[in-house]
Amino acid sequence: MRDLNIGSGEVAVESDGIRHPGGGRKRLTELDPTLSQDLQALVEASTRGDPESPLQWTCKSTSHLAKALGELGHEVSERSVCTLLHSMGYSLQANRKTHEGKQHEDRDQQFRHIAKQVKAFHQRHQPVISVDAKKKELVGNYKNAGQEWHAKGQPEMVNVYDFPDKVQGKALPYGVYDLQQNQGWVSVGISHDTAELATETIRRWWDEMGKPLYPEASELLITADCGGSNGNRVRLWKLKLQELADTLGLRIQVCHFPPGTSKWNKIEHRMFCHISQNWRGRPLKSRSIIVNLISHTTTKQGLKIRVKLDKHDYKTGIKVGETEFSTIVLEKDKFHGEWNYRIHPREGV
């Protein structure tokens, strides 16, 4: 103020600024030339696994970085560390899922084989379905991921702990998605995710939705994962498919996605994802709420889903012996017969 004022009250400085060029506090990087170098060394060393880095086993927060720099003789605040990181091209980033693990050498060829089979079935006006089990859901007043609109300051109150309710237990949605019709069926099981639940869900879809849409059908194509209740190595799955083929009078073709590629199954990103989005942030307090939320799931593309509660108690640990397994009329494809096979209806059964 003394520099600005003179006796007459006029401003003594005639230039546009009130500070000489280069005046004011110096930047930290100018006062401390090694600051940026040491900060980058801390961040990169903790990323690359340098055992000598003080941040190898701690979170790389700005407070930890500032403390580590202080131990190296630098005077810097958390806020200054944040500013320096941004100027050096760093930003806060979450993990990104990209590594799928070891991939089968015929992964792409199997994808092409499935696409070829689907196209051929559609051209013959035969049904093609994608099947899978959705993750188990706790039934009760539990927190559900996501957010939902409520009056400000009035969130939905849920249980603190996620201990399963002994009465309601968990819900096990198993779904069938019709690729051509953009329609689906979901059976909400209450006991266990088994091959019996899977094939019973397919039977219910056929009786309620499939048969009216495909009255002249003679075969059915099922695309499924390689694991779970409908896995390619599950004997009970193939035995129950044989019983289903006998009951429906259809030749059942099965194509499994290669191991580690379940996310490419159509039902995952054409039906299940929309169900999860529809009930995000809403506690699944009862089985009836789950059934209603699934049945009211729709999309702009016209997705329609029918759902029913399956109260049957499906047993686990059922073994299929060689004698029983030999009764299956199983025909394997030349290309990866363990992934691609047909089950024909048995005559006189």
- Average the pLDDT over 13-24 and give the result: 62
pLDDT value of residue 150: 81
- Mean pLDDT, the chain, whole residue set: 89
Q: Is the pTM of this model over 0.85?
A: no
Helices in the chain by DSSP H: which ranges? 28-31, 35-48, 62-71, 78-87, 107-123, 195-205, 211-213, 235-248, 266-267, 273-278, 287-295, 322-325
Tell me how far apart the alpha carbons of residues 297 and 303 are, in angstroms, rounded to a whole number: 8
Report residue 29's pLDDT band, with 50, 70 and 90 as the boundaries: confident
Residue 269, Cβ neighbours under 10 Å: how many?
A: 11
Given a cut of 70, is residue 3 above it in pLDDT? no
**Which residue from 176, 174, 177, 214 is spatially nearest to 192, judged by alpha carbons?**
174
pLDDT value of residue 42: 85
Question: What pLDDT digit, counting tens, does each position of 149-171 carry?
Answer: 888 888 889 999 988 888 899 99
Tally the C-alpha atoms within 13 A of residue 186's C-alpha that lie toward its C-beta: 25
Question: What pLDDT digit, counting tens, does each position of 112-144 carry?
Answer: 999 999 999 999 999 999 999 999 999 999 999
Q: What percent of the chain shows pLDDT beyond 70?
A: 88
Report residue 32's pLDDT band, with 50, 70 and 90 as the boundaries: confident
Domains defined for the chain, CATH in brackets: 1-93 (no CATH), 107-343 (3.30.420.10)
Given a cut of 90, is residue 172 above it in pLDDT? yes
Residue type, 309: L
- Average the pLDDT over 15-33 and give the result: 73
Question: What pLDDT digit, counting tens, does each position of 273-316 carry?
Answer: 999 999 999 999 999 999 999 999 999 999 999 999 999 999 99
Question: What pLDDT digit, counting tens, does each position of 321-347 carry?
Answer: 999 999 999 999 999 999 999 999 998
Compare 125 and 39 and report the one with higher pLDDT.
125
Report residue 15's pLDDT band, with 50, 70 and 90 as the boundaries: low
Given a cut of 60, is residue 10 above it in pLDDT? no
Question: What pLDDT digit, counting tens, does each position of 182-227 carry?
Answer: 999 999 999 999 999 999 999 999 999 999 999 999 999 999 999 9
pLDDT value of residue 28: 85
DSSP readout, 39-92? Answer: HHHHHHHHHHT-TT-TTTTS---HHHHHHHHHHTT----HHHHHHHHHHTT---
Report residue 235's pLDDT band, with 50, 70 and 90 as the boundaries: very high
Between 67-76, 94-103, 121-130, 136-145, the lowest mean confidence (pLDDT) is in 94-103
Compare 22 and 341 and report the one with higher pLDDT.
341
Given a cut of 70, is residue 21 above it in pLDDT? no
